[in-house]
Amino acid sequence: MPTRVRLTLTVAVALSAALAALSISLWLSRRAYVYRDLSRYAAAQATLAARAIQEGAEAGDTLTEEPLLGSGGKLSPRVLAPRLWRILEAIPDYLIVVDRDSSVVYMSEALRRLDFDDRTAIVNALAEIPDDGPAALLDVDGGVLLVARGVQGPSVVLKRVIAGVHAGGAIEAPREYIITVFFLFPLILGGALTAAWVFLGKPFDQLNRITDEVAAITDGRSLHRRLAVDDSRAELSDLVATLNAMIDRLEQSFLGLRRFTADASHELKTPLTVLRADVERAMSDGTSKSERLVALEEALHESARMADLVETLLTLARADEGRFDLHLEPVALAPLLRDVYETALILGETAGVEVQLPFTADAVVMGDAPRLRQLFLNLVTNAIKYTQAGGRVDIGLGRHPDHVAFVVRDTGIGIAAADIPYVFDRFWRADRVRSRTIARTRDGEGGGGGSGLGLAISQWIAHAHGGALAVTSRLGKGSLFTVTLPLAADQPAESFIEP
């Protein structure tokens, strides 16, 4: 069932329940009000009759010896005096006067007109009606409300007056209300359902449009499309903004994937081409033994380079999927840094670059020692590779209250300000021609100048250890790479070790 229909039906059910509850509440209130009004009217009639009897008793005008058909049809020996009789006959509703012997001495004309059974039922119920108490409802003649009032005074021989009123009005008024509600209910419900259907129409039309637009984005080539934002509805605007942000991330991911695939293919194409040429040269009949050995050595070098590239790609892929587990343990960085420094001295000597370790600190971090060594060595190797002969590379380790900082500063070619946001992207190299020219002086002619993955994997290692990798640089003025790592708990007081 469509959501719009379900919501409309939900509104219908909720509105029906609310209207039903309201109608019942109003009906009960109306019924109670009518009963209360009739009870007050009957009480007023009884009080009026009791006062008339009291005034008649003071004038010596109460009873006379004339028979009256009383309770159960037997004759009552006494009735009211004619003057009181005429006064009480002016009251149009039910009225009964009882003497001290509990005999009925007066019945109003309305009671006398009742049939014998109804009249007898009323007379028999008189004893159950308390004086000055609440009204009693008898199921006689469609419902009769009776109220009793006592007659006061020592000389009065009459005991109580019972006044009644027909309770049909208490039933008819709520019944008329129910009939009115019965006719109005469908109109109110129909109007509310129509309003709900129309009100829900626009947002659901917009949702359907959003669904169609999202469905039209079928592949990576259509990710440039964006959904139109309607500011008139905040909820839908937020949804559209979220979807647009998601599509933007997907577009960037697809672009990165295509760029990654193209770059990986390019990086693998060069060593494969060289490898094929070396193998063909080695297999040629006119190749001497020494030339064949040189060709095989170059082929081995290129195959090792491809193996390193593939291993790096697999490492990054596992890291992206969260499947790469680091073996974390307390690692003292000072010995690790000295090992990296000794390796850097060898690399720097070969490249004609001076490598210095001006300062270091005694610090322990929770980390994976081989990966931390790879991180430091990547940065040092990268600095040496892109620093001209005669330049200088400084490395150091500084300790702070809650973290340690490993820095690598070089006097190399530097990085343009516009290129700095991209230096950690995979396969990215600023000014590839210049960087490869510098790199060939390190690797020899035909060298690849690196795959462009070193800084990407270095950043991943830093982040995996809860740290960060940052760079500041000026074109032609060198670069400064800084790795910050959190210190392990329970570190001793700060100390520095001279190199």
Under the phi-then-psi rule, with left for phi > 0, alpha for psi from -120 to 50, and beta for the rest, what region is 169?
alpha
Model pLDDT, residue 433: 40
Residues whose CB is less than 8 angstroms from the CB of residue 207 and which lie 6 or more positions away in sequence, other chains included: 236
Model pLDDT, residue 499: 37
- For 70, phi then psi, to 5°, come to -105, -150
DSSP letter at 363 equals -
Q: What is the pLDDT of residues 38-77, one digit of tens each?
A: 888 888 888 888 887 777 766 665 555 454 444 443 445 5
Q: Do 3-172 and 217-324 have matching folds?
A: no
Model pLDDT, residue 220: 62
Residue by residue, pLDDT tens for the chain (499 residues) are 667 777 777 878 887 788 788 778 877 777 777 778 888 888 888 888 888 777 776 666 555 545 444 444 344 555 666 777 777 777 778 888 887 777 787 888 888 888 888 888 888 887 778 777 777 777 777 778 788 777 766 555 677 888 888 776 666 666 666 777 777 778 877 887 787 777 776 667 777 777 777 777 766 666 767 767 666 666 677 777 787 788 788 777 777 677 667 767 766 777 788 888 888 888 887 778 888 888 888 888 888 878 877 877 777 777 766 666 778 899 999 999 999 999 999 999 989 999 999 988 889 999 999 899 989 999 999 999 999 999 999 999 999 988 999 999 999 999 988 888 888 887 776 554 444 444 444 444 333 345 677 888 899 899 989 999 999 999 988 999 999 999 987 665 554 443 3
Q: What is the CA radius of gyration of the chain?
A: 53
Q: 40 vs 37, 54, 136, 166, 224, CA distance in Å?
A: 5, 21, 12, 13, 81
CATH number of 217-324: 1.10.287.130
Give the domain ranges of the chain: 3-172, 217-324, 327-497
Model pLDDT, residue 398: 92
Model pLDDT, residue 7: 79
Q: Which CATH superfamily is domain 3-172 in?
A: PAS domain (3.30.450.20)
Model pLDDT, residue 230: 66
Q: Which CATH superfamily is domain 327-497 in?
A: Histidine kinase-like ATPase, C-terminal domain (3.30.565.10)
Yes or no: say if 92 and 110 are a contact pair by the CB < 8 Å rule. yes
Model pLDDT, residue 441: 46
What percent of the chain has a predicted confidence (pLDDT) above 70? 77
DSSP letters of 121-187? HHHHTGGGS-BT---EEE-STT-EEEEEEEPP-TT--EEEEEEEEETHHHHHHHHHHHHHHHHHHHH
| Other beta carbons less than 10 A from residue 145's beta carbon | 24
E-strand stretches of 252-333: 329-332
Yes or no: say if 324 and 368 are a contact pair by the CB < 8 Å rule. no
